[in-house]
Amino acid sequence: MRTGMLRIGIVTGAGLAHGPAFAGIINGSRDTPPGSYPDLADVRVTAVYDQETAVAEKLAADYGIERVARSPAEVADAVDAVLLLDDGTREHQRQAPPLLERRLPTFVDKPLSTDPREAAELVCLAASAGAPFMSCSALRYTRELEENRAALEAAAPYLAACAIGPGELIYYGIHPCELLQAAIGPGVRAVQNLGEEGRHIARLFYGDDRSAVLQVFEGISYVFHLSVYGKGGWVSFQVSDHVYFYTQTVLRFVGMCRSGEQPIAPGDTLEIIRTLWCARKSAQEGGRVVGLEEAS
């Protein structure tokens, strides 16, 4: 159990949405003044690295980050844990191995990888090194899901669900896919994509009575929506409170740093990556049903 001041480093992604969001929650910002979250009173982002030095310098100036590092290794030498953030390249995860080998508690931003085999290698590396590890879309921790948890439990057993979101299938489809798993649980066995490029309609087959549809459409308005239907009722909601889900993600990460206990089963993280990869493969192969074992 780690005690005392927790020093966190940010590696990559300083100029995109997650850099300012996470730094602001931890170090304080106009929206979240210092002291807003008692569980973060002894936590601080103290170092940042980005491929673009000017971007890292701006994040440091805006959020009171003491050190602008010249490399991820320099960050690792100066902190107790690392937030490895999405930088838009879909290659940020390649910075993870040396951090994990140092046994640093590490959050790898979504997606862990677009390649399920690389994702599995990172999970195995974290386990073998003994590094507390976490990777997810922040939509795993939405206020709306928490508020509807009792209604979801009452609706069980689940029979059908539909999750929808905008953007590219894997890079942004991870958001509704993670939301869906957080609501009804893991267990996807196969995927059939009945849509087309930019308009994905993926049917998810489970190992029980559940069936779900994941829709990821480029060009639609920015929305994440989930509907779940069961023998005991139904639940439907739109996700809108982004400050809440970013904050809860940070709190879960800090909790992991303190306790060493991972908040998400690695197998659940890998299932999401494999599900999206299978949806892509199904679309490329005319809607063939693709088993998740093909992504292993």
Confidence of residue 34 (pLDDT cuts 50, 70, 90): confident
Is pLDDT above 90 for 180? yes
230 Cβ contact partners less than 8 Å away, ≥ 6 residues apart:
155, 156, 157, 158, 159
Cα–Cα distance for residue pair 207/187, rounded to 1 Å: 6
Distance CA 5, CA 44 (A): 8
**What percent of the chain has a predicted confidence (pLDDT) above 70?**
99
DSSP category for residue 188 = E
3-state secondary structure of 280: helix
> 117: which 2 tokens?
């085999």
Q: Which amino acid is at 148?
A: N
pLDDT of residue 86: 95
Q: Which CATH class is domain 140-243+274-295?
A: alpha beta
Stated as kind and residue range, the H or E segment containing 184 is: helix 174-184
Q: And the tokens for 187?
A: 């267990």
Would you list the domain boundaries of the chain?
Answer: 6-136, 140-243+274-295
Residue 81 has what pLDDT?
A: 98
Q: Which of 8-17, 32-41, 230-239 has the lowest mean pLDDT?
A: 32-41
What dihedral do alpha carbons 192, 142, 175, 52 form, nearest 10°? -170
- pLDDT of residue 1 exceeding 60, the answer is no
Position 2 pLDDT exceeds 70: no
Q: Each residue of 96-131: b (16+ CB within 10 Å) or e?
A: beebbeeebbbbbbbbbbbbbeebbebbebbeebeb
Among the listed residues 5, 38, 40, the one whose alpha carbon sits nearest the alpha carbon of residue 22: 40
Across the range 186-202, mean pLDDT stands at: 97
Is the pLDDT reported for residue 246 higher than 70?
yes
Q: Which residues contact 91 (CB under 8 A, 6 or more apart)?
A: none
Judged against a pLDDT cut of 90, whether residue 33 lies above it is answered with no
SS3 247: helix
The pair of three-digit structure tokens given for residue 70, joined into one six-digit string: 């010249």
**What's the mean per-residue pLDDT of the chain?**
96
Torsion sign, CA atoms 191, 218, 165, 118: positive
Q: What is the DSSP letter of 121?
A: H
State the amino acid at position 78 in one-letter form. Answer: A
Amino acid at 32: T
3 pLDDT band, cuts 50/70/90, is low
Across the range 66-73, mean pLDDT stands at 97
Average pLDDT over residues 174-200: 98
Which residues, 6+ apart, have CB-to-CB distance to 112 below 8 Å? Answer: 93, 119, 122, 123, 135, 269, 270, 273
Quote the longest CA-to-CA distance of the chain.
56
Report how far residue 219's alpha carbon sits from residue 222's, in angstroms, rounded to the nearest whole number: 9
User: According to the model, what pLDDT value does residue 36 have?
Assistant: 84
Position 93 confidence tier, pLDDT thresholds 50, 70, 90: very high
Q: pLDDT band at 288, cuts 50/70/90? A: very high
Nearest of 25, 108, 66, 39 to residue 254 by alpha carbon: 39
Q: Which CATH class, in words, describes the domain spanning 6-136? A: alpha beta
Q: How confident is the model at residue 278 (pLDDT cuts 50, 70, 90)?
A: very high
- Closest C-alpha to 223, from 242, 210, 204, 208: 242
